[in-house]
Chains A and B, each alone.
Chain A
């Protein structure tokens, strides 16, 4: 099985609340299981010494029991028992624990052996199973236990018995049991953590939508009491933010209207009362004020569109905007513009593009607009042939009311809000604005917007 290393690390270091809780509980459970099994195994082993030693001990005690002594049956009594003068060879692995247990048993029966030895042979000699009844073969494999007792300096008694081996499938059992415990504990835990995580996820999603024009529906108040309280206070906060934003919109609308009325009155009076070049200059000033008012209101409203975004062909949008410039005789040129569908508010994006082209025409003599698809983005590029912007001033230019000193003194006008509006539109539409100086001279403004899926 091929396992991606990163996936593995991901599994070992879960990031979510649910993942971390489950991992912690699973690890603790496994540790508890392991300790339990070590204790169990030790007890099992201890018990097995008795199981292995007892048949041999009983057999030897029978042989030595003087009450049963009967000359005729001596042969039968001694069958399977080996009496030697020397220490017999031990068949298999010496086992001091079994020997010690046998010694204890002899002593509790009142016998005082000089020396006890025990050996375990994993497989009994081959011929022995053949003598056994056939159904014995189907039993679990048994081990042969050799028990040799030195009663006097020149007398050893040896018996062979059989016992079930200790090698029970301990690993399978530990795994099986652990899985069983996991089933009991982890299934409810998964349920509980998801109950905990669901309201948190809803809260996260809702937080991401705070302040957007479509707003966010109240978060359902579910889950444990403390999580419910969090959702509850979030909803209260959300209400306050909404009313603040509404207040702002309302105020801007009122300012917009209230300033327009005196501006209109001023303009009507200027045009009816004054004649000549002064009048044109006054009208121009009124127009500039009007433009600034419009820009301030646009900037304040970017990203607060009430309509849902639409799938729009960006090439057609650029085409339409350039048509409008051509109608007024502005020096604009078209580069490549392949079809690129984005999901945006067309009016806002058109406004942004118009601002970029206006800047290029005003400060860079000529605007060349092109469109390209780059990864997951459609990129509108507006290049001009002007002086560009000093590298260290590029970031400043995106701030509202910032203009290059050169442009102020040249009296090219402008409110200093154009690029700020473009940047606000870009971020409201999940895109970006990038300004750079072209190596061949002039400024390159690029507006990236994510392609529609």
Chain B
């Protein structure tokens, strides 16, 4: 993370883009602005951008499409700006390939906090795949549906998860068979509303184990790694 990280702000609405750009500059970032995907591509090709703040809904090529092509080229972090319409509702809680998203209307202070969190952990978790549908993960007879935060067992009965449980499990299923430290798990689960989760990761893990493990005292799915953290030790398929 350089002293003045270089951001690219892509939004077709100048009413948002211009004041936001000024605000970010005052917060110590270097900011390039683009009004559409084509301009954004030119800037990406010409300068060393460290993070992209990208509006989803744009005329012409939309933000999701641009996000996908940024993902295909490397690990440049992306934060999406979305309006919670029916279409983007499905994106909430989804893996989008973006590192994070904020809902309009957002607080600029919150956006800055997210940008700083992501720059701190940039490169840590690796690139993710972009997908526009509702993500469904399957592991060990369980089905996790990201659109309505439910976990369905083999009996076909869905168990709704609390926000904290869902985010923790989502962090695990998107990083199967990887050792995740407590800090990484905090980043993955609390990036969005850090103040909302004061429960410790260990407490959350044991709660989650009670829900998905046959025997919470001898866990098979979420294993404790000595000195390291936790590892999700099941194969996950994603639809």
Contacts and interface: CB of A to CB of B under 8 A. Distances in A.
Contacts of A317: 160
A199 B233 CA distance: 55
Interface in A83-134: none
Interface residues of B, number: 40
Interface in B119-155: 147-150, 152
A324 B163 contact: yes
Contacts of B59: none
12 contacts: A253-B86, A261-B16, A263-B104, A268-B20, A271-B23, A272-B23, A310-B152, A311-B157, A320-B160, A320-B162, A328-B196, A345-B148
A261 B86 contact: no
A260 interface: yes
Interface of A: 249, 252-253, 256-257, 260-269, 271-273, 283, 286, 290, 294, 297, 301, 307, 310-313, 316-317, 319-321, 323-324, 327-328, 341, 345-347, 350
A317 B26 CA distance: 44
B215 interface: no
A124 B105 CA distance: 113
B162 A346 contact: no
Contacts of B160: 312-313, 316-317, 319-321, 346, 350
A225 to B, nearest CB: 42
A265 B14 CA distance: 9
Contacts of A313: 157-160
Given A313-B157, A313-B158, A262 B15 contact: yes
B14 to A, nearest CB: 9
Given A312-B150, A312-B158, A263 B105 contact: yes
Dominant secondary structure at the A interface:
helix
A113 to B, nearest CB: 98
Contacts of A273: 19
Interface in B26-40: 26
A256 B85 contact: yes
A312 B157 contact: yes
Contact of A257 (B16, B83, B147, B149): B83
Contacts of B86: 249, 252-253, 297, 301
Contacts, number: 118
Contacts of B22: 272
Q: Give me the 3 closest cross-chain CB pairs, A-B, nearest first.
A: A323-B162, A265-B15, A264-B105
Contact of A266 (B26, B105, B152, B165): B105
Contacts of A320: 149, 159-162, 165
A311 B106 CA distance: 35
A272 B19 contact: yes
A268 B158 contact: no
A261 B13 contact: yes
Nearest to B153: A313
Contacts of B152: 310
B132 to A, nearest CB: 15
Contacts of B109: 271
A265 B21 CA distance: 12
Contacts of A286: 105
A257 B105 CA distance: 10
Given A261-B104, A263-B104, A345-B148, A327 B85 contact: no
Contacts of B156: 311
Interface in B55-101: 57, 81, 83-87
B185 interface: no
B15 A261 contact: yes
A328 B196 CA distance: 6
Contacts of B106: 264, 267
B107 A267 contact: yes
Nearest to B56: A257
A174 to B, nearest CB: 60
Contacts of A316: 159-160
Contacts of A327: 162-164, 196-199
Given A249-B86, A311-B158, A345-B148, A265 B16 contact: yes
Nearest to A312: B158
A310 B105 contact: no
Nearest to B102: A264
B105 A267 contact: yes
A195 B108 CA distance: 67
B129 to A, nearest CB: 22
